[in-house]
C-alpha cells in the first residue's frame, strides 16, 4: 500500500489485455447481436454492412480467444475455489443488499468474480468451438449439417450466457464504486480493498513487493 | 439494371440516424432493407427469330432471342434460345442439346476464318478466302482433268470422276444440299455420300 | 430406309411424330427414343397418358426409354431378327393377324416361283464363287397377262403366306431364348402384347433408329419388324407405322435429295454402266403394274427424271441430247463411305471434301481412317466447328497419336455458318420440310455453305472457261439462274427444287387456256412432264414452294380432328401427306378400321379426311386399287423378291464378330453377303480373345461429336465412360469410377467405368454372355474432357444393302487399370 | 424499371414487422412426375441457359449424375438410382432442387433482412444483394439445397424462375421438359393433375404411387409424383418426413425473443437494483481502517 492510500491491483499488461478482451467482446456482442435478432440487424452498419459483419465477426472471435487466453493464464490461479467462497455464495442476499459486513473476508476475488471468471472461460471456449463449426468460409467441409445446426444452438446459447455475465460484470463494476479504477489506473484505494477484499489487502501489505498487482 | 440498383441503394439510406438508435431498436424499430424484386425479364426488348434445332430429326422449332433491334449500328448477338410453343411436335419443349443451343452458337471452337495446313506442317495458318478457294478449285480441276473416266473398259460412256470425293452435311439445309448436288454431279463426281449410312 | 422402300414403296418414316399419341402400343427396339429423340418421345408419354398406351422396350441395355416403360426385356446385341422371327411365328401360329388387311394389302396371297427355297442358312441361287446370290428365283409366278398369280385362300404351299410360315417355323420361343438370351416368358409376353394390336381398331408403333441399322444385316432387322407390322395391319393407320427415327436434322432431306453415290433426287437412280443411253435407262424403269387396276406410281419415272435434268442443265438439256443423259456419271459400283475410305486407304482417292461431317469419329476403325486420310493429296473441311477430321494430322497425345511431319495432305478448313445464321429448310424424320430464318450474322469471316459451294463451283467453272479441260460441257452448262451468281439465296434454290414451268403448255381441252404457264412455280409433281416443259430439282419436293408462296414456312397450328398431324404446319412430302399409305387405314369398302382415329375415308364420291389421301382421290373402293401405290403390286411386300441382297425374308445371322456360332445354321453363321473388303478380314477378332459383346450408342446429353463443343452439354456429361454390368465388374474386380481399358482387334480405348445393374449378363446358347456399353461422344477437340474415338474399336464391315457399319455388335475385352495412361 | 415496392411478399427473412402482402396471387407449383421423367437433363440445360450459369466441366465418377451434386451454378441436378423391385429393375431418376417449402427452413434461419423472401405465390427466392453469405440457410434447409459460392460467398439455389413467373412464363426447366414430367401451374391445378397421374399409375400396377407434398414443411411448391410412394428415400435420399430441424427451430424460434427479453430484463434488474439499493461505496472510514491495517501489519514501515 502506497503512501497515497492506494493498492496496486493490475499491471499495465493485464489492463491492456483486459481491455483488448473487453473491446473484442463488445464488438462480438454488437456484431453477434446483429445476427441474433432481426431487430438488431442495424448493428451491422457499425461494421460496414451485413457482409462485412459476417466476415469480421469470426476474426474478432479469434482475437478474443487469444486475448482471453492471456487473461486466463494470468488469473486462473487467483480464481481457484476456496471454502470461504462457498460461504460467500451462501450469503448472496447480503451481497445484493449491500450488507458486506456480514460476509466472510474476501481474498483477491470474491466468489461472484470467480464465477464470472469461470463462466466467462467456459463461454469463450464454447463460443470459439461452436463458432468454428459455423465458420463456413473456411470450415464448411469439415462438419455435417447436423453438427452445424447444433453449433448454431450452442453459439446462440453461449451468446446469451455471455450477455448475462457481461451485464453482471459491468454492473458490478459500476455498482461497487471504486472498482473501475483498478482497470483504468491499475490501483484501488485502500478503503476499497479493505472493504471488499480485506484478506487480499492484508496479503498485499505483508508482501509489498507484490504491491503492483498482476 | 443500373437504374434499379440506384433505387435499391436509396432504400439503404437509413444512414446515421440508425447508428444512433440503440435500445429503441430492440423494442421493435426495424430498418427497411431492399424489398424483394425479381430479376428483370431478360428478353423484354430482344428480337425474336424462328428457327429449327439442327440436331436430330425431330426438328423442334426454336425461338432465338437476340440483342438489339437490327438497327444499322447494332450487331445482333443471340442471347437465348428456347422452344417454339407453336411447333406441333415439340410444343415449346427441348431436349438437353436443344436447350443448350446457345452454347453451340457461341462455342469457343467456332471457326471464324479459313485456315490452311501445308503438307507436313504442324500448325494451321490463317489464310484468305481467295487463297483457299482458288487453291481448292485448282486442285479439284487438275485432279478431274487428269483422272476423269470418260469410258469404261468395255467402251461404254461412263463420264465419272472417282478420284475426288465428298461427304455432304446431314444438318445443312435442303437448299445447300441441292446446290451441292448440282455442283458435285455436274463435275461427274461419284464418290459422294452423306450421313444416312451411319 | 433401304428396307422400307422394298416393303412399302417409299423409304421414310411412315407416320409422324404427333401421330404417335394415337397408338395403343409403342415398341422401342433398335433404338432409344427417349435418349436420342426426347421431344419426339413426348408423344409416347402422351399416348401413355391419354390413350392408355403401353410401352415395350427391348434393348441390350436398360435405357432411359426403359426407365419409363411398362415392360422391358433384354436382348443380346445383333439378334433382333431371331426375336422378331419368333414374333412372326407366334402371330401365325396363334392366328393373331389382321386377316382382311393381310389378304388385301400385302402380297401374302401371291404365288412364288418354283425354284425359290431356303436351306442351311442360304436362300436359293447362292454362288459360292462370287459369294453372292443369283436372285432370279426370288420372284412371283406370273400369269399369261403378266400379272402375279394369287391364292386368296392362302393355302397354296407356294404362296407367300405359307412360305413365310415355313421359314419362321424354326423360330420357336426356345430358339429365341437360346439366341437372344431373352427369357422365354418375357418374350412370350412381348409377342402377346404385339398380337393384341392385330385387332382392326388397335395400333402398334415401331420406333427404331440406328440400333437396327448399324448391323451387317441392318436392313433385314427393319424388314422383320415391317413384316410384323403388316401382319398386324398396323401400316398406314393412325398410331401405327414403321417410324424410322432419323439421326440428323436433315438426313431425310439429304437422302430425299439424293446426296448419295447411287441416287438422283427423289429416289431416282443414277444410271449404271450398262445403261448406255436414255432409252435403255428408262426402259428398265417402266414399273408396269403387277396386278390389275394398280397405280404403280413409278410409271411416271421419266417425268421426274427429265424434269430433274432440266433443273440441272436448263436449255442445254434437250430432247436431242437425251436431256443431257450422258452428262450424268454412270455407276460401276456404289461408292459409299466405306468404299470411299477403302479407296483412300489404297491411295486411289486424291481429294476429299467434308461438308459438316466428321468421318474420323463417325466411321469404323479409326486407325484405318487416319491412314487413309494421310494418303490424300488434299482435304477440305467445311464446318462451323473445329472437327477432329480437320485436325487428323495433329498430334493430340494418345488420343490422336500421329506424326504431322509424315502426313503430306494439304488441308483446308473453311468456316461455315450454323443454323442460327442462315435460312433454308430442313426435312424432319416425319418428312416435314420446315423453313427457318436467320437470327444473327455469322462470327468473323464464316460464310454460308451455299455461298462456299457456289464460290468453289464458280472458280472451277472459271478455270474451265479460261483453260478448257476434260469434259467441260456439264460444268460450263450447269443451270445457274441466280441473281447473284456467287451468292445464290436459299429461296431461289427452294423454288428450283419445287420446280417451275419452262415452256407453257396449252390445255388440250381448251386451247385458249394454258395448262402450264412458263415461269410459274409448279403446284405439285402431278404437273411434271417428260417433254422438257417442266423443270424440277426433286419431284417429291414439288409443292413445297408454289405460286402460293413458301409452303415450308407455313405456321398454321390447327389440327381440327386432333390427329396430331397439324396438316397446315410447314409442308410434308409427298403432296403434304402426313401418314404414308393412309388408304390402308380403311377397310376394302373405304371405311376406317378404327373410327376413333380416322385419317381418310371414302365419302361415296371421293377420298377425304384430315390427312391428304395417299391415293387417287377419285378411285372407288370397288376399283380394287391397293393402298401401296408406289409398288407395282399395289400391296406391301412381306416377301421382297430380289430387292434386298440377303434374301426375300429376313433370316437371323450373327454379327461379323459374335460370341457364338449361329444356332440356326452354324456353317453360315454371319450374313454371307455383308459388305466386307478383303483387307479387313484380318482385323476381325474372335470370342476366344475378345469374349465380350460391345455395342456403341449415344447418350441423351450429347449429340454425336457436336455437343462436346457446347459448354452446357460438356457440363452435363463431361468425360468418356464405358458401361459394365455388375456381374462382369465383379469378375474383373472393377468398381464404379475405376479406369478400364477396352480392347478390340483394332485398337483400345481407356475410360472411366460406370458399373450398372442395367446391363445384365445373358444366358445364350448355354453360356454366359456379357455386354459392354460404349458411349461415343468424346474426341480430342471441344469443351468436354478429351477422350478416345470409340470407333477405334469398331469393325470395318457394313450392311449388305446400305453399307451401314456394324457399330452395334462386335467383340472386345476389358481390363481394369490402376490409372489412365495419360 | 425498378419496382419501388412489391406487394406480394408473404415472408421475408429476419424481418419481424409484417411485409407488404396486400396483393393476392394464386399459389403456384411445379409438379415433377417421376413416372414420366426420362432423366434427359433438359431441365438442367435449360436452367443453366436461362439463368446464365455455367458450372465447371467436371469428371465422371462412375455414375450418370453430372454435375455430381448441386452447386452454386447448378441449381438442379438429376439423381439416378438403380433398384430391384421384385425381379424387375427400376431406374429411379429424380430431379433435385429447391422444393419451395411453404414453411421454408432457409428463410427461418436467415439472419439478413430480406435476403430470402417468400412471395405470395409460394416461390422462395434468394435476393442475393441482401445475402451476407453466412450459410445459415444451408443449416435451415431440410432438403440440403442451398449452396454457398466460393467466388462470392453468397447462397444460391433455384428461384423457380421467379423472373419468368413474374411475367407469366413458366420456369425454364418446366418449359423445356420433353415429356411433361415437369408441369407447372397453380398448386390446386397441379394437385388435381397429380390425382389423374396417380390413377394411371395405379392402373399400371404401382399400387403405392403417391404425391409428395410433405406436410412437415407446410407442403411444398415443388411436388413429386412418386411411382413408389412408400419408399421416397430410394429416390436418391428424398426425405420421408422432412421438417425444419428441431435444433434450427430452437435456435431460430422462440429462443431468440425469450433470450433477448431475458437479457433486457437482466439489465433492467441491474438498473432497479441500483436505484433501490444504491451504489456500494467506499467510505472515508474504510480508508482509515485500511490505513490502520497497514500500520498494524507493517509496524509503521510505510
According to DSSP, the β-strands at C692-697 and C771-775 are parallel
Model confidence at C609: pLDDT above 60: yes
Of A37, A40, A46, the CB nearest to B19: A46
Model confidence at C735: pLDDT above 60: yes
Model confidence at B16: pLDDT above 50: no
Which of A38, A42, A163 best probes binding to B when mutated, by most B CB atoms within 10 angstroms?
Answer: A42
pLDDT tens digit sequence for A42-84: 999 999 999 999 999 999 999 999 999 999 999 999 999 988 8
What was the pLDDT predicted at C1? 53
User: CB A45 to CB B26 under 8 A?
Assistant: no
How far is the C-alpha of A207 from the C-alpha of A7, rounded, in Å?
12
**Angle, in degrees to the nearest 10, between helices C160-167 and C80-93:** 120
Which of A9, A139, A145 best probes binding to D when mutated, by most D CB atoms within 10 angstroms?
Answer: A145
C594-633 burial by CB neighbour count: b if 16+ within 10 A, else e? beebbbbbbeeeebebbbbbbbeeebebeeebbbbbbbbb
Model confidence at B127: pLDDT above 50: yes
Residue recorded with cell 394389302: C105
* Cis, peptide link before residue C574, omega less than 30° from 0: yes
Of B14, B19, B28, the CB nearest to A39: B28
Of D163, D166, D175, the CB nearest to B92: D175
Name the phi and psi angles at D94, rounded to 5.
Answer: -125, 130
3-state secondary structure of D195: helix
Please state the rounded mean pLDDT for residues D179-194: 97
**Torsion angle of the four alpha carbons C338, C340, C345, C347, in this order, in degrees rounded to the nearest 10:** 160
Enumerate the residues of chain D whose CB falls inside 8 A of the CB of residue C701: 40-41, 66
User: CB D60 to CB C701 under 8 A?
Assistant: no
CA C736 to chain D, closest CA, distance in angstroms equals 4
What was the pLDDT predicted at C163? 98
Q: Where in chain B is the domain with CATH 3.30.200.210?
A: 47-105
| A/D interface, count of CB pairs below 8 Å | 158
| B/C interface, count of CB pairs below 8 Å | 499
The CATH label, of 1.10.10.10, 3.40.50.720, 1.20.950.20, 3.40.50.1100, for the domain at A9-76+107-207 is: 1.20.950.20
What was the pLDDT predicted at C2? 67
DSSP secondary structure code for residue C243 in this structure:
E
Share of chain D above pLDDT 70, in %: 97
Residues 139-198 in B contacting C (C-alpha not used; CB under 8 Å): 139-141, 143-148, 150, 152, 154, 156-183, 185-198
**Do the domain assignments include residue D1?**
no
Which of these ranges, A96-110, B131-145, C72-86, D239-253, has the smallest mean pLDDT? Answer: A96-110
pLDDT tens digit sequence for B79-107: 999 999 999 999 999 999 999 999 999 99
What was the pLDDT predicted at D81? 97
Which of C17, C32, C38 best probes binding to D when mutated, by most D CB atoms within 10 angstroms?
Answer: C38
**Angle, in degrees to the nearest 10, between helices C301-313 and B174-186:** 80
How buried is residue C480: exposed, middle or buried, by Cβ count under 10 Å (0-12/13-18/19+)? middle
Domain residues for the domain of D239 are 9-244
B65-86 burial by CB neighbour count: b if 16+ within 10 A, else e? bbeeeeeeeeebebbbbbbbeb
Cell of C330: 454412270
Nearest CA in chain D to A196: D282
- Looking at per-residue confidence, does C755 or B19 come out higher? C755
Q: How many domains does chain D have?
A: 2
Nearest CA in chain B to A44: B19
For C4-247, CATH gives 3.40.228.10
**Do the domain assignments include residue D25?**
yes
Q: Which residues touch B134 (CB under 8 Å, ≥6 apart)?
A: C459
Enumerate the residues of chain B whose CB falls inside 8 A of the CB of residue C537: 178
CA B19 to chain A, closest CA, distance in angstroms equals 7
Of the candidates C694, C712, C695, which has an alpha carbon nearest to the alpha carbon of residue C703? C712
Enumerate the residues of chain D whose CB falls inside 8 A of the CB of residue A195: 282, 286
Shared-domain flag, residues D235 and D260: no
Residue recorded with cell 395400333: C203
How far is the C-alpha of D123 from the C-alpha of C803, rounded, in Å?
55
Determine contact: D55 vs chain C, CB below 8 A: yes
How far is the C-alpha of D136 from the C-alpha of D150, rounded, in Å?
15
- Looking at per-residue confidence, does C307 or D290 come out higher? C307
How buried is residue A23: exposed, middle or buried, by Cβ count under 10 Å (0-12/13-18/19+)? middle
pLDDT tens digit sequence for D51-68: 999 999 999 999 999 999
Of the candidates C11, C605, C581, which has an alpha carbon nearest to the alpha carbon of residue C262? C11
Length of chain C: 822
Model confidence at B30: pLDDT above 60: no
Enumerate the residues of chain B whose CB falls inside 8 A of the CB of residue A42: 14, 18-19, 21, 25, 30-31
Please state the rounded mean pLDDT for residues C176-195: 98
The CATH label, of 1.10.3720.10, 3.20.20.100, 3.40.50.10360, 3.30.200.210, for the domain at B47-105 is: 3.30.200.210
Cα distances (Å, whole numbers) of residue C409 to C371, C792, D48: 11, 21, 41
Q: Which residues touch D286 (CB under 8 Å, ≥6 apart)?
A: A190, A191, A192, A194, A195
User: CB C755 to CB D62 under 8 A?
Assistant: yes
**Do the domain assignments include residue D250?**
no
Residues A30, A36, A40, A44: is their CA dihedral positive or negative? positive
Q: Where in chain C is the domain with CATH 3.40.228.10?
A: 4-247
pLDDT tens digit sequence for C22-67: 999 999 999 999 999 999 999 999 999 999 999 999 999 999 999 9
Which residue numbers of A are catalytic? Answer: 169
| C/D interface, count of CB pairs below 8 Å | 122
Q: Do chains B and C touch (3 or more CB pairs under 8 A)?
A: yes
For C337-476, CATH gives 3.40.50.740
Cα distances (Å, whole numbers) of residue C333 to B185, C11, C262, D169: 16, 21, 9, 57
Q: Which residues touch C781 (CB under 8 Å, ≥6 apart)?
A: B109, C386, C387, C388, C391, C708, C709
Phi-psi category of residue C126: left, alpha or beta, with phi > 0 → left and psi -120 to 50 → alpha: beta
**Do the domain assignments include residue D22?**
yes
**Do the domain assignments include residue D249?**
no
DSSP secondary structure code for residue C11 in this structure:
-
Please state the rounded mean pLDDT for residues D24-48: 96
Cell of C548: 402460293
Q: How many CB atoms lie within 10 A of CB A87?
A: 12
Is residue C699 within a helix (H) or strand (E), and if so which, with residue range?
none
What was the pLDDT predicted at D256? 83
CA B4 to chain C, closest CA, distance in angstroms equals 29
Assess contact for C81 and C51: CB atoms under 8 A. Answer: no
How far is the C-alpha of C642 from the C-alpha of C25, rounded, in Å?
32
What was the pLDDT predicted at A208? 62
Nearest CA in chain D to A150: D247
According to DSSP, the β-strands at C378-383 and C351-355 are parallel
Interface predicted TM-score (ipTM) of this complex, two decimals: 0.93
CA B42 to chain A, closest CA, distance in angstroms equals 28
pTM: 0.93
CA B8 to chain A, closest CA, distance in angstroms equals 15
- Gyration radius from chain B CA atoms: 30
Shared-domain flag, residues D187 and D78: yes
What was the pLDDT predicted at B5? 37
User: CB B26 to CB A46 under 8 A?
Assistant: no
Model confidence at B22: pLDDT above 90: no
3-state secondary structure of C792: helix
**Do the domain assignments include residue D3?**
no
Residue recorded with cell 426402259: C283
What was the pLDDT predicted at B120? 97
Model confidence at B17: pLDDT above 60: no
Nearest CA in chain B to C468: B145
pLDDT tens digit sequence for D99-144: 999 999 999 999 999 999 999 999 999 999 999 999 999 999 999 9
Q: Which residues touch D70 (CB under 8 Å, ≥6 apart)?
A: D76, D77, D96, D97, D144, D145, D147, D157
DSSP secondary structure code for residue C683 in this structure:
G
What would the 3-class secondary structure string for chain B be?
Answer: CHHHHHHHHHHCCCHHHHHHCCHHHHCCCCCCCCCCCCCCCCCCCCEEEEEECCCCCCCCEEEEEECCCCCCCCCCCEEEEEECCCCCCCCCCCCCCHHHHHHHHCCCCECCCCEEECCCCCCCEECCHHHHHHHHHHHHHHHHHHHCEEECCCCCEEEEEEEEEEECCCCCCHHHHHHHHHHHHHCCEEEEECHHHC
pLDDT tens digit sequence for C214-232: 999 999 999 999 999 999 9
Q: Which residues touch A185 (CB under 8 Å, ≥6 apart)?
A: none
Name the phi and psi angles at C797, rounded to 5.
Answer: -140, 145
CATH 2.40.40.20 fits C666-817, yes or no: yes
CA A48 to chain B, closest CA, distance in angstroms equals 11
CA B10 to chain A, closest CA, distance in angstroms equals 15
Domain boundaries, chain A: 9-76+107-207
Cell of C111: 404365288
Cα distances (Å, whole numbers) of residue D45 to A89, C41, C452, C702, D40: 69, 18, 33, 11, 9
Give residue D253's pLDDT band: very low, low, confident or very high (50, 70, 90). confident
Assess contact for C376 and C352: CB atoms under 8 A. Answer: yes
Q: Do chains C and A touch (3 or more CB pairs under 8 A)?
A: no
User: CB C719 to CB D178 under 8 A?
Assistant: no
Shared-domain flag, residues D37 and D104: yes
User: Kindly report the CA angle at A177 between A175 and A180, in degrees rounded to 5?
Assistant: 95
Which of D134, D138, D296, D298 best probes binding to A when mutated, by most A CB atoms within 10 angstroms?
Answer: D134
CA D65 to chain C, closest CA, distance in angstroms equals 8
Determine contact: A140 vs chain D, CB below 8 A: yes
Amino acid at each position: 500500500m502506497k503512501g497515497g492510500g492506494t493498492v496496486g491491483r493490475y499491471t499495465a499488461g493485464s489492463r491492456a489485455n483486459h481491455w483488448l478482451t473487453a473491446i473484442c467482446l463488445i464488438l462480438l456482442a454488437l456484431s453477434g447481436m446483429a445476427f441474433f435478432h432481426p431487430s438488431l440487424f442495424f448493428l451491422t452498419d457499425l461494421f460496414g454492412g451485413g457482409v462485412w459483419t459476417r466476415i469480421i465477426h469470426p476474426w474478432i472471435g479469434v482475437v478474443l480467444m487469444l486475448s482471453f487466453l492471456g487473461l486466463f493464464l494470468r488469473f486462473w490461479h487467483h480464481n481457484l475455489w476456496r471454502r470461504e467462497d462457498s460461504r460467500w455464495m451462501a450469503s448472496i442476499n447480503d451481497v445484493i443488499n449491500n450488507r458486506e459486513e456480514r460476509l466472510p473476508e474476501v481474498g483477491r476475488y470474491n466468489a461472484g468474480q470467480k464465477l464470472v471468471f469461470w463462466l466467462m472461460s467456459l463461454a469463450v471456449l464454447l463460443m470459439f468451438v461452436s463458432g468454428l463449426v459455423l465458420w463456413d468460409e473456411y470450415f464448411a467441409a469439415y462438419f455435417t449439417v447436423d453438427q452445424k445446426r447444433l453449433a448454431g444452438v450452442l453459439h446462440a446459447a453461449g451468446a446469451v450466457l455471455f450477455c448475462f455475465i457481461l451485464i453482471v460484470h459491468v454492473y458490478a463494476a459500476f455498482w461497487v464504486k471504486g472498482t473501475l479504477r483498478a482497470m483504468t489506473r491499475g490501483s484501488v484505494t485502500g478503503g476499497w480493498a479493505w472493504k471488499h477484499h480485506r484478506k487480499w489487502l492484508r496479503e498485499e501489505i505483508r508482501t509489498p513487493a507484490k504491491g503492483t498487482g498482476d | 439494371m443500373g437504374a434499379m440498383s440506384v433505387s435499391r441503394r436509396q432504400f439503404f439510406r437509413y444512414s446515421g440516424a440508425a447508428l444512433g438508435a440503440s435500445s429503441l431498436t430492440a423494442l421493435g424499430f426495424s430498418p427497411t432493407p431492399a424489398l424483394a424484386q425479381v430479376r428483370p425479364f431478360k428478353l423484354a426488348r430482344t428480337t425474336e427469330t424462328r428457327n429449327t434445332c439442327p440436331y436430330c430429326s425431330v426438328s423442334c422449332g426454336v425461338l432465338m432471342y437476340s440483342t438489339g433491334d437490327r438497327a444499322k449500328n447494332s450487331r445482333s448477338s443471340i442471347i437465348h434460345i428456347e422452344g417454339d410453343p407453336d411447333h406441333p411436335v415439340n410444343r415449346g419443349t427441348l431436349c438437353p442439346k436443344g436447350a443448350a443451343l446457345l452454347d453451340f452458337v457461341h462455342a469457343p471452337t467456332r471457326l471464324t476464318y479459313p485456315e490452311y495446313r501445308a503438307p507436313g506442317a504442324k500448325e494451321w495458318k490463317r489464310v484468305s478466302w481467295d487463297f483457299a478457294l482458288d487453291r481448292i478449285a485448282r486442285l479439284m480441276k487438275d485432279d478431274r482433268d487428269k483422272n476423269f473416266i470418260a469410258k469404261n473398259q468395255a467402251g461404254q460412256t461412263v463420264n465419272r470422276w472417282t478420284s475426288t470425293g465428298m461427304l455432304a452435311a446431314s444438318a445443312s439445309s435442303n437448299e445447300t444440299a441441292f446446290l451441292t448436288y448440282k455442283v458435285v454431279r455436274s463435275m461427274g463426281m461419284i464418290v459422294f455420300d452423306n450421313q444416312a449410312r451411319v | 430406309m433401304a428396307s422400307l422402300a422394298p416393303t412399302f414403296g417409299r423409304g421414310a418414316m411412315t407416320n409422324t411424330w404427333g401421330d404417335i399419341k394415337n397408338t395403343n402400343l409403342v415398341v422401342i427396339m433398335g433404338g432409344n427414343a427417349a435418349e436420342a429423340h426426347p421431344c419426339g418421345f413426348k408423344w409416347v408419354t402422351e399416348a401413355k397418358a391419354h390413350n392408355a398406351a403401353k410401352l415395350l422396350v427391348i434393348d441390350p441395355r436398360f435405357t432411359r426409354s426403359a426407365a419409363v416403360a411398362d415392360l422391358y426385356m433384354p436382348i443380346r446385341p445383333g439378334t433382333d431378327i431371331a426375336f422378331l422371327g419368333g414374333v412372326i411365328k407366334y402371330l401365325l401360329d396363334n392366328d393373331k393377324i389382321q386377316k382382311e388387311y393381310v389378304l388385301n394389302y400385302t402380297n401374302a396371297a401371291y404365288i412364288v416361283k418354283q425354284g425359290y427355297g431356303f436351306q442351311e442358312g442360304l436362300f436359293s441361287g447362292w454362288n459360292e464363287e462370287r459369294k453372292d446370290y443369283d436372285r432370279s428365283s426370288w420372284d412371283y409366278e406370273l400369269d399369261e397377262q403378266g400379272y402375279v398369280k394369287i391364292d386368296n385362300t392362302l393355302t397354296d404351299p407356294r404362296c407367300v403366306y405359307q412360305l413365310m410360315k415355313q421359314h419362321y417355323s424354326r423360330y420357336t420361343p426356345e430358339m429365341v431364348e437360346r439366341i437372344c438370351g431373352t427369357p422365354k416368358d418375357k418374350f412370350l409376353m412381348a409377342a402377346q402384347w404385339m398380337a393384341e394390336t392385330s385387332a382392326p381398331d388397335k395400333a402398334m408403333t415401331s420406333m427404331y433408329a440406328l440400333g437396327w441399322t448399324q448391323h451387317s444385316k441392318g436392313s433385314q432387322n427393319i424388314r422383320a419388324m415391317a413384316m410384323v407390322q403388316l401382319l398386324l395391319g398396323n401400316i398406314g393407320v393412325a398410331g401405327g407405322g414403321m417410324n424410322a427415327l432419323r439421326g440428323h436434322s436433315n438426313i431425310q432431306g439429304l437422302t430425299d435429295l439424293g446426296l448419295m453415290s447411287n441416287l438422283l433426287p427423289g429416289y431416282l437412280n443414277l444410271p449404271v454402266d450398262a445403261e448406255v443411253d436414255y432409252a435403255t435407262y428408262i426402259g428398265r424403269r417402266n414399273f408396269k403394274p403387277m396386278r390389275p387396276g394398280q397405280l404403280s406410281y413409278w410409271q411416271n419415272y421419266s417425268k421426274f427424271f427429265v424434269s430433274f435434268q432440266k433443273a440441272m442443265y436448263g436449255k442445254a438439256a434437250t430432247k436431242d441430247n437425251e436431256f443431257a443423259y450422258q452428262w450424268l456419271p454412270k455407276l460401276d459400283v456404289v461408292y459409299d463411305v466405306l468404299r470411299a475410305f477403302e479407296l483412300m486407304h489404297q491411295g486411289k482417292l486424291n481429294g476429299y471434301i467434308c461438308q459438316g461431317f466428321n468421318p474420323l469419329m463417325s466411321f469404323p476403325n479409326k486407325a484405318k481412317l487416319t491412314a487413309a486420310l494421310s494418303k490424300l493429296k488434299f482435304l477440305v473441311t467445311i464446318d462451323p466447328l473445329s472437327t477432329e477430321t480437320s485436325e487428323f494430322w495433329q498430334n493430340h497425345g494418345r488420343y490422336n497419336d500421329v506424326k504431322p511431319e509424315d502426313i503430306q495432305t494439304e488441308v483446308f478448313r473453311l468456316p461455315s455458318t450454323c443454323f442460327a445464321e442462315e435460312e433454308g429448310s430442313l426435312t424432319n424424320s416425319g418428312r416435314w420440310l420446315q423453313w427457318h430464318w436467320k437470327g444473327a450474322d455469322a462470327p468473323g469471316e464464316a460464310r454460308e455453305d451455299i455461298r462456299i459451294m457456289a464460290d468453289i463451283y464458280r472458280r472451277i467453272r472459271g478455270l474451265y472457261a479460261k483453260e478448257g479441260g476434260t469434259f467441260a460441257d456439264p460444268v460450263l452448262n450447269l443451270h445457274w439462274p441466280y441473281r447473284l451468281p456467287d451468292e445464290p439465296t436459299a429461296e431461289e434454290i427452294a423454288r428450283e427444287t419445287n420446280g417451275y414451268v419452262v415452256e407453257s403448255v396449252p390445255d388440250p381441252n381448251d386451247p385458249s387456256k394454258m395448262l402450264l404457264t412458263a415461269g410459274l412455280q409448279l403446284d405439285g409433281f402431278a404437273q411434271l412432264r417428260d417433254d422438257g416443259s417442266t423443270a424440277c430439282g426433286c419431284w417429291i419436293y414439288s409443292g413445297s414452294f408454289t405460286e402460293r408462296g413458301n409452303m415450308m414456312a407455313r405456321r398454321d397450328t390447327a389440327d381440327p380432328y386432333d390427329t396430331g398431324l397439324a396438316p397446315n404446319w410447314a409442308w410434308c412430302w409427298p403432296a403434304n401427306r402426313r401418314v404414308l399409305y393412309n388408304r390402308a387405314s380403311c377397310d376394302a369398302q373405304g371405311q376406317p378400321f378404327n373410327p376413333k382415329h380416322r385419317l381418310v375415308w371414302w365419302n361415296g364420291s371421293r377420298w377425304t379426311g384430315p390427312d391428304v389421301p395417299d391415293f387417287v382421290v377419285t378411285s372407288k373402293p370397288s376399283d380394287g386399287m391397293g393402298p401401296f401405290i408406289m409398288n407395282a403390286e399395289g400391296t406391301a411386300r412381306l416377301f421382297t423378291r430380289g430387292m434386298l441382297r440377303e434374301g426375300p425374308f429376313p433370316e437371323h445371322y450373327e454379327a461379323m464378330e459374335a460370341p457364338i456360332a449361329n444356332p440356326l445354321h452354324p456353317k453360315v453363321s454371319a450374313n454371307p453377303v455383308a459388305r466386307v473388303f478383303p483387307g479387313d478380314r484380318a482385323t476381325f477378332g474372335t470370342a476366344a480373345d475378345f469374349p465380350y459383346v460391345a455395342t456403341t450408342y449415344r447418350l441423351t446429353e450429347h449429340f454425336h461429336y457436336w455437343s462436346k463443343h457446347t459448354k452446357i452439354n460438356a457440363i452435363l456429361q463431361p468425360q468418356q465412360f464405358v458401361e459394365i454390368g455388375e456381374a462382369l465388374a465383379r469378375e474383373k474386380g472393377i468398381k464404379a469410377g475405376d479406369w478400364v481399358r477396352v480392347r478390340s482387334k483394332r485398337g483400345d480405348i481407356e475410360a472411366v467405368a460406370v458399373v450398372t445393374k442395367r446391363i445384365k449378363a445373358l444366358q445364350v446358347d448355354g453360356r454366359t454372355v456379357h455386354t459392354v456399353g460404349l458411349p461415343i461422344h468424346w474426341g480430342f477437340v471441344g469443351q468436354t474432357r478429351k477422350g478416345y474415338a470409340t470407333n477405334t474399336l469398331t469393325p470395318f464391315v457394313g450392311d449388305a444393302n446400305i453399307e451401314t457399319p456394324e457399330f452395334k455388335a462386335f467383340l472386345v475385352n476389358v481390363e481394369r487399370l490402376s490409372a489412365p495412361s495419360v | 424499371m425498378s419496382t419501388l415496392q412489391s406487394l406480394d411478399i408473404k415472408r421475408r427473412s429476419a424481418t419481424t414487422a409484417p411485409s407488404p402482402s396486400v396483393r393476392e396471387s394464386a399459389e403456384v407449383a411445379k409438379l415433377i412426375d417421376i413416372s414420366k421423367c426420362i432423366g434427359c437433363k433438359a431441365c438442367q440445360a435449360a436452367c443453366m441457359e436461362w439463368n446464365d450459369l455455367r458450372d465447371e466441366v467436371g469428371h465422371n465418377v462412375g455414375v450418370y449424375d453430372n454435375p455430381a451434386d448441386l452447386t452454386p451454378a447448378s441449381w438442379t441436378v438429376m439423381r439416378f438410382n438403380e433398384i430391384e423391385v421384385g425381379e424387375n429393375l427400376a431406374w429411379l431418376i429424380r430431379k433435385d432442387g429447391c422444393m419451395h417449402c411453404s414453411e421454408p427452413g432457409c428463410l427461418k434461419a436467415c439472419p439478413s433482412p430480406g435476403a430470402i423472401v417468400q412471395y405470395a405465390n409460394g416461390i422462395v427466392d434468394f435476393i442475393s444483394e441482401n445475402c451476407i453469405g453466412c450459410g445459415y440457410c444451408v443449416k435451415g434447409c431440410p432438403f440440403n439445397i442451398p449452396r454457398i459460392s466460393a467466388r462470392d460467398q453468397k447462397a444460391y439455389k433455384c428461384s423457380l424462375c421467379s423472373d419468368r413467373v413474374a411475367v407469366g412464363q413458366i420456369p425454364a426447366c418446366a418449359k423445356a421438359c420433353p415429356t411433361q414430367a415437369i408441369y407447372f401451374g397453380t398448386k390446386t391445378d397441379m394437385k388435381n393433375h397429380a390425382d389423374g397421374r396417380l390413377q394411371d399409375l395405379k392402373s399400371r400396377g404401382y399400387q403405392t404411387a403417391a404425391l409428395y407434398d410433405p406436410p412437415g414443411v407446410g407442403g411444398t411448391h415443388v411436388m413429386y409424383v412418386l411411382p413408389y410412394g412408400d419408399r421416397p428415400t430410394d429416390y436418391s435420399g428424398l426425405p420421408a418426413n422432412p421438417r425444419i430441424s428441431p435444433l434450427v427451430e430452437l435456435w431460430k424460434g422462440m429462443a431468440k425473443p425469450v433470450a433477448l427479453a431475458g437479457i433486457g430484463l437482466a439489465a433492467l434488474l441491474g438498473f432497479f437494483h441500483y436505484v433501490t439499493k444504491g451504489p456500494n461505496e467506499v467510505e472515508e472510514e474504510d480508508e482509515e481502517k485500511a490505513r490502520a491495517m497497514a500500520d498494524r501489519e507493517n509496524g509503521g514501515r510505510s
